[in-house]
Amino acid sequence: MIHQIETLTTLGIKISVESFYLPKKSTPVEQRYVHAYKITIENKSEQTVQLLRRHWYILESNGILREVEGEGVVGLQPTLEPGQIHQYTSWCPMMTDMGKMYGTFQMKNFETEALFDVTVPEFKLVPPFKMN
């Protein structure tokens, strides 16, 4: 089931997120809930940019906050020319049935070599059985 799409633009870089619950990968009796999310990165600026790093905050409904930081996304550091789009899908296991994620992507402007952060909009991780 697709949840609503969250979108945010920072310095001409548009980030959209769709989240999905993965019931076949989840085992609620073992407190394992798995969600997937699809990220769309669209370069609406006039400069070529490269995604260098990601920094995620994952907040579970029990109040536990985790941080995940590292190079690129799913093993890639995509370069986007003006007008180009990059999409990827990843996943997040949690101990609680609901939570949310948000974060930033560190980007590099190819023309100026300047580094800047792009905000990833907060998105909820909620299984369909909690939406009644």
Domains of the chain, by residue range, sit at 6-123
Residues 46-99 pLDDT 10s = 999 999 999 999 999 999 999 999 999 999 999 999 999 999 999 999 999 999
- CATH topology for 6-123? Immunoglobulin-like (2.60.40)
Q: What is the share, in percent, of the chain residues with pLDDT greater than 70?
A: 96
The three-state DSSP-derived secondary structure of the chain is CECCCEEEEECCEEEEEEEEECCCCCEHHHCEEEEEEEEEEEECCCCCEEEEEEEEEEEECCCCEEEEEEECECCECCEECCCCEEEEEEEEEECCCCEEEEEEEEEEECCCCCEEEEEEEEEEECCHHHCC
Residue 36: predicted pLDDT: 95
Residue 2 pLDDT more than 70? no
* Res. 105: pLDDT tops 80: yes
Say if pTM beats, i.e. exceeds, 0.85.
yes
